[in-house]
């Protein structure tokens, strides 16, 4: 579902905000990585959004507005302050392993959903969130730009780095898995 | 791995963010470049797995209900003044409706009153003009069996006249008259040297339709009007009201 709502009918906050509840919660959980904090985050988001709804400009992207509130709430939370790191938008995160192969086909072959879940959790928050906004929430670059308050160019470069990092982490975990399996297989065979 | 410059645009292409012309060009390129096609497939697979894995957490329904309840509560309390405003608006609207309705009714009443005044004024003129005329009646007779038939063919209705023997009233005669272009009968009765005009018109003609039955004074004359059997009766004269009422009763009983 690409593209923001260009026109919003005159309606209530509840009509606009409650349909976003499930996806906001999912996003909050991915950021906070635990249920109680995700719930607090969503609750805080709705409370803030409701208070600020009078200042919300009709015709602008309501979804991006809600996500921005949620993300800012997260950044100001204890977990958010701890997990967010200073970003060097143009630099390559050297802590990530170099890409040596393409793990997608292997993943599809194994179809291990949990592996991707764990790998996503390993991604730094700023890379995880942009991947989730693009792939899960299917936001356009423009919407992501509005949500994260960054230029579209930064959206593109950060997305590129997030995908690269995910691929490399998947590669790592698959390699580790195969090493574990082969070592287990070796022990079993002896 | 793709090595040509198209590779840089692969993500934007798969994200649906390329300009239409660039997207067409990219699609064309993918048809001829196996490396880029393979890369595009891998990127698409990654997108798919992230999408699938990313939709992982579902909120507790209690949390949803709790938040929805808070929103409704706050919305209602914050919009209390708005609701109050609506009540005022509703009240104002109701008041406006009452005012308009009142104005319409008042206007109608005024209109009816004006019509009534006009009718009585015209009838008074006819009554006075008749009495002042050297030939006040066209059929001069105290016999109701002479007067009533005289109107046949002259007016579009018929009526009954009372037997006046033994009463204080005498029939002097009658004439055809017109009220608001409607032909009718004018009968002259006398009691104690006072003349009373009885006008009869078809109610449906509209000449005086819809006037309420009433007794009273108009232009210093005593008057009475009623509707009976589709006919509108008027009595007008400079007699006391009891005389008007007595003649009215006679005519009603005869009608």
DSSP collapsed to 3 states, chain B: CCCCHHHHHHHHHHCCCCCHHHHHHHHHHHHHCHHHHHHHHHHHHHHHHHHHHHCCCCCCHHHHHHHHHHHHHHHHHHCHHHHHHHHHHHHHHHHHHHHHHHHHHHHHHHHHHHHHHHHHHHHHHHHHHHHHCCCCCCEECCCHHHHHHHCECCECCCCCCCCCCCCCCEEEEEEEEEECCEEEEEEEEEECCEEEEEEEEEHHHCCCCCCCCEEEEECCEEEEEEEECCEEEEEEECCCHHHHHHHHHHHHHHC
**CB-based contact B74 A50, cutoff 8 Å:** yes
| Parts of chain A belonging to CATH 1.10.10.10 | 101-177
Nearest CA in chain B to A156: B12
Domain limits, CATH 1.10.1740.10, in chain A? 7-84
Grade residue B42 by pLDDT with cuts at 50, 70 and 90. Answer: confident
Lowest-pLDDT range, A7-16, A93-102, B160-169, B223-232? A93-102
Q: Which fold has domain A101-177?
A: Arc Repressor Mutant, subunit A (1.10.10)
Would you say B127 and B220 are in contact if contact means Cβ atoms under 8 Å apart?
no
What b/e readout covers B207-238, taking b as 16+ CB neighbours within 10 angstroms? bbeebeeeeeebeebbbbbbebeebbbbbbbe
Alpha-carbon span B158 to B152, nearest angstrom: 7
Reported as a single tens digit per residue, the pLDDT across B142-195 is 888 889 889 988 888 889 899 888 888 999 999 998 887 788 999 999 988 889
> What is the average pLDDT across B188-209?
85
**What mean pLDDT is reported for chain B?**
82
Banded pLDDT at A1 (limits 50, 70, 90): very low
Would you say A103 and A97 are in contact if contact means Cβ atoms under 8 Å apart?
no
Which residues does chain A have within 8 Å of residue B53's beta carbon, measured at their own beta carbons? 113, 116-117, 120
Q: Say how far apart CA B207 and CA B199 lie, in whole Å.
A: 12
* Mean confidence (pLDDT) of chain A: 77
* A121 touches B: beta carbon within 8 Å: no
Q: What integer is the mean pLDDT of B198-215?
A: 76
ipTM of predicted assembly, 2 dp = 0.73
On whether any CB of chain B is under 8 Å from the CB of A131, the answer is yes
State the fold for domain B115-254.
Answer: Phosphorylase Kinase; domain 1 (3.30.200)
Yes or no, beta carbons of B11 and A30 under 8 Å apart: no
- From residue B94, give the alpha-carbon distance in Å to each of B90, B98, B106, B107: 6, 6, 17, 19
- What pLDDT is attached to residue A7? 40
Interface A-B, measured as beta-carbon pairs within 8 A, has a size of 105
Which of A52, A136, A165 should one mutate to test binding to chain B, selecting the residue with the greatest count of B CBs within 10 A?
Answer: A136
What mean pLDDT do residues A119-128 have?
Answer: 91
Segments making up each domain of chain B, as ranges? 5-51, 80-107, 115-254
Would you say domain A7-84 falls under CATH 1.10.1740.10?
yes
**Inter-residue contact A141 to A133 (CB < 8 Å):** no
Q: Compare all CA atoms of chain B with the CA of A49 and give the residue at the minimum distance.
A: B71
Q: What pTM value is reported for the model?
A: 0.52
Q: What residues of chain A lie within 8 A of the CB of B71, using their CB?
A: 13-14, 17-18, 46, 50
The mean per-residue pLDDT over the stretch A1-5 comes to 44
pLDDT for residue A128 is more than 70: yes
The pLDDT of residue A162 is 95
Report d(CA A145, CA A74) in Å as an integer.
Answer: 17
């Amino acid at each position: 579902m690409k593209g923001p709502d260009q026109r919003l009918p005159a309606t209530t906050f509840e009509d606009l905000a409650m349909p976003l509840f499930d996806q906001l919660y999912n996003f909050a959980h991915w950021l906070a990585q635990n249920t109680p904090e995700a719930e607090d985050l969503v609750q805080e988001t709705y409370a803030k959004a409701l208070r600020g709804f009078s200042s919300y400009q009709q015709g602008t992207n309501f979804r991006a507005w809600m996500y921005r509130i949620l993300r800012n709430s997260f950044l100001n939370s204890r977990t958010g302050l701890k997990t967010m790191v200073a970003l060097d938008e143009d630099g390559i995160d050297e802590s990530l392993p170099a890409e040596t192969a393409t793990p997608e086909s292997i993943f599809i072959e194994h179809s291990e959903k949990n592996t991707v879940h764990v790998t996503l959790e390993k991604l730094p928050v700023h890379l995880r969130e942009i991947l989730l906004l693009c792939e899960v929430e299917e936001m356009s670059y423009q919407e992501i730009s509005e949500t994260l308050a960054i230029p579209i160019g930064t959206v593109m470069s950060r997305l590129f780095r997030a995908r690269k990092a995910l691929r490399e982490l998947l590669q790592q975990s698959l390699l580790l898995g195969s090493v574990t399996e082969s070592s287990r297989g070796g022990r079993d065979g002896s | 791995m793709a090595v040509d410059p198209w590779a840089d645009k692969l993500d934007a292409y798969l994200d649906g963010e390329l300009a239409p012309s660039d997207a067409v060009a990219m699609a064309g390129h993918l048809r001829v470049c196996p490396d880029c096609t393979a890369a595009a497939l891998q990127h698409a697979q990654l997108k798919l797995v992230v999408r699938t894995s990313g939709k992982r957490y579902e909120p507790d329904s209690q949390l949803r209900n709790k938040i929805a309840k808070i929103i409704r509560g706050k919305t209602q309390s914050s919009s209390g003044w708005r609701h109050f405003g609506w009540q005022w608006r509703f009240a104002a609207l109701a008041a406006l409706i009452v005012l308009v309705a009142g104005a319409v009714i008042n206007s109608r009443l005024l209109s009816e009153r004006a019509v009534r005044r006009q009718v009585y004024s015209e009838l008074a003129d006819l009554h006075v003009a008749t009495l002042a005329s050297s030939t006040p009646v066209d059929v001069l007779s105290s016999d109701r069996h002479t007067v009533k038939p005289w109107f046949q063919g002259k007016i579009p209705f018929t009526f009954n006249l009372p037997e006046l023997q033994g009463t204080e009233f005498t029939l002097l005669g009658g004439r055809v008259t017109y009220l608001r272009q409607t032909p009718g009968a004018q009968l002259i009765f006398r009691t104690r040297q006072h003349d009373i005009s009885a006008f009869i018109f078809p109610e449906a003609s509209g000449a005086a339709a819809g006037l309420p039955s009433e007794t009273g004074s108009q232009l210093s004359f005593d008057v009475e009007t009623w509707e009976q059997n589709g006919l509108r009766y008027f009595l007008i004269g400079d007699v006391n009201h009891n005389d008007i009422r007595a003649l009215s009763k006679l005519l009603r009983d005869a009608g």
